[in-house]
Amino acid sequence: MSAKKIMVIDDEEGLCRMMSAVLMDDGHAVRTFNDPQEAVDLFRPNIWDLVISDIKMPGIDGLEVLQRIKTCEPDIPVIMITAFATVEMSIQALRKGAYDMLTKPFEPDELLFRVRNALNHNQLVTENQKLRQELAGKFNFDNIVGASTALQQLLDKVEKVSVRDTSVLISGESGTGKELIAQAIHYNSPRKEQPFIAINCGAIPGSVMESELFGHKKGAFTGADTDKEGLLKAADGGTLFLDEVGNLPLTVQKTLLRFLQEQEFRRVGDTDSTRVDVRLISATNSDLEKEIEKELFREDLFYRLNVINLHLPPLRQRRPDIPLLAAHFVVQQNKKFKTDIDGLSPEAQRAASEYSWPGNIRQLKNVIEACITIETEQQVSLATLAQFIETEDASAGSDDYNNALARFEIDFLRQLLSSVDGNIEEAAKKAKMNMATVYRKLKKYGLRKEDMLG
């Protein structure tokens, strides 16, 4: 990769020198700023290829730096670095346009990896500017939270699939957010101004499913006292989403196949055909190919529905997204119940990230709601979280020796940081420790250097 111009903003001179040396060794032109205001004042569009900025800084913080830079040059990638920002702050940064988050302490190889990804991304953005303009008006993904590679790859597919008016089958375990993806497809498609109608095929008895989908004429069966418009007709011009499509009775599968082939159908008890223009998106948490082998699902319908397949990975395969989702649900619940919970404690967040979440995002949302309902502290504690999910035995690491060691390290770090006015580089030198080790210890105990001064 050719040399790129990189702006580094951090009030810690030692960290700036380290990043500058690593990046210059990689062939880049680097200018560092310890004063964020100076950096913002000197920033001009079309000069820099990448900006790396700390979040917690005196004067103006990193989020304001990010906002000002993005206002000046919207497409420039910005990597935010932080040691103790809350997860909510990380979400804010990503939503305000940050390309990536880098957590202290970090190794030089990790810095170079993130920088190369950001620069590659910037090059692709430039090369595909025309395509992005064609896709203007993209659906707002506020409810689809996450920064994991698996999710971003899926959303890239969603963006491409949305503009193609073809059938889509979304597969994935229960609770992974299949309906949200269906909505994203609809609201990023030419049909976005028309209805989006969703139906859970597993929640409606098979005996009435045909009437629900296709409607019926008055007198078609006992209880049909009036004409009824089915969901297909209600979705005319828009999108019909069939969730858990594997639960459709075989008789309804046959009628649905005929509609997909001819774009028309007959209401129950009607002799006339009804023609509608509807895009069909379906979803399943079961293996439809196995259902075909059992003769419970029509093979010809499967191929009609499965023109494009999108698979949602389970939450256990998206572990980097768990803290972001948890923070998102905390914000939601705070608004709903007028509470003021800061988020999960470091210990609770670690336990949540290590848990397998068999119920996926839906389970995580319900657990967060339950925790906030009974929590009496400012943050959701590990003890509260442990009432709803299995966590490692808290007593395993709480023997007298480990407690004593933890108290010693916390007291030592407080005195050390206080003696050097919070300067991490000076603290590391004084204690004959590596800077990265100091950062790791602070992170381990959830300590902030700002709280240990004076």
Quote the tokens at residue 436.
């990265």
> So what's the pLDDT on residue 86?
61
- Tell which wins on pLDDT, 416 or 90: 416
- Max mean pLDDT among 135-149, 211-225, 293-307, 313-327 falls in 293-307
- Is a pLDDT exceeding 60 seen at residue 140? no
Report whether CATH 2.40.30.10 matches the domain 149-311.
no
367 three-class SS: helix
Residue ranges covered by each domain of the chain: 5-130, 149-311, 316-392, 398-452
Residue type, 72: C
Span 385-397, pLDDT tens digits: 988 888 765 444 4
Span 17-66, pLDDT tens digits: 999 999 998 888 999 999 999 999 999 888 899 999 998 888 888 889 99
Quote the tokens at residue 371.
């925790």
What is the β-pairing status of strands 273-275 and 264-266?
Answer: antiparallel
- Max mean pLDDT among 128-137, 161-170, 401-410 falls in 161-170
pTM for the model stands at: 0.56
Mean pLDDT of 111-118: 88
Secondary structure in 3-state letters for 277-312: CCEEEEEECCCHHHHHHCCCCCHHHHHHHCCEEEEC
264 three-class SS: strand
Helix, strand, coil shares of the chain as percentages rounded to 5? 50, 15, 35
Span 252-266, pLDDT tens digits: 899 899 888 888 887
150 Cβ contact list (under 8 Å, min separation 6)? 313, 317, 318
Q: Topology of 5-130 in CATH?
A: Rossmann fold (3.40.50)
For residues 382 and 391, the answer to whether their CB atoms sit within 8 Å is yes
CATH class of 316-392: mainly alpha
Instruction: Give the bridge partners for 282, in sequence order.
Output: 169, 242
CATH number for domain 398-452, candidates 1.10.3470, 3.30.70, 1.10.10, 2.70.50: 1.10.10
> So what's the pLDDT on residue 429?
85
Counting DSSP H helices and E strands in the chain, the numbers are 20, 14
Assess whether the region 5-130 and the region 149-311 belong to the same CATH fold. Answer: yes
Please provide the average confidence, as pLDDT, over all residues in the chain: 83
